[in-house]
């Protein structure tokens, strides 16, 4: 299983330890543009499923075990707070499908608030 992470699960971030036994496949960009905004607390970002709006999001791709995906679902409070969906991501010139977490109830945002990476 392949997962694309863009926030607190990335290397050197607060929750990266959940991926410690996973294989890092590389840095990646989403194939589509998506809006990403910072939470009110500023501690983590929200990725919003609105393709074509915002920027191609920078993140990291990992090969994970099914057991790790279940753990990530709990960490991300899926499907209540975030939900998981497969999207296209690019690692260099190679496109692949990866699971990503989108926020379930997206906040209102302005173009000025949009992030490319966290």
CA quadruple 18, 24, 25, 28: dihedral positive or negative? positive
Which residues are catalytic, by number?
A: 76
- Tell me whether residue 12 is exposed, middle or buried, using C-beta atoms within 10 angstroms of its C-beta: 0 to 12, 13 to 18, 19 or more: exposed
62: three-class secondary structure by DSSP? strand
């Amino acid at each position: 299983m392949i997962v694309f992470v863009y926030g607190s699960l990335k290397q050197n971030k607060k929750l990266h330890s959940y991926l410690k036994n996973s294989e890092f496949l590389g840095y990646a960009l989403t194939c589509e543009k998506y809006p990403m905004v910072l939470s009110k607390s500023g501690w983590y970002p929200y990725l919003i499923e609105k393709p074509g709006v915002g920027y191609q999001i920078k993140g990291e791709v990992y090969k994970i075990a099914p057991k790790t995906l279940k753990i990530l679902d709990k960490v991300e409070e899926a499907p209540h707070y975030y939900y998981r969906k497969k999207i296209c991501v690019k690692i260099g010139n190679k496109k692949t499908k990866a699971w990503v977490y989108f926020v379930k109830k997206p906040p209102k945002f302005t173009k000025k608030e949009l992030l490319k990476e966290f």
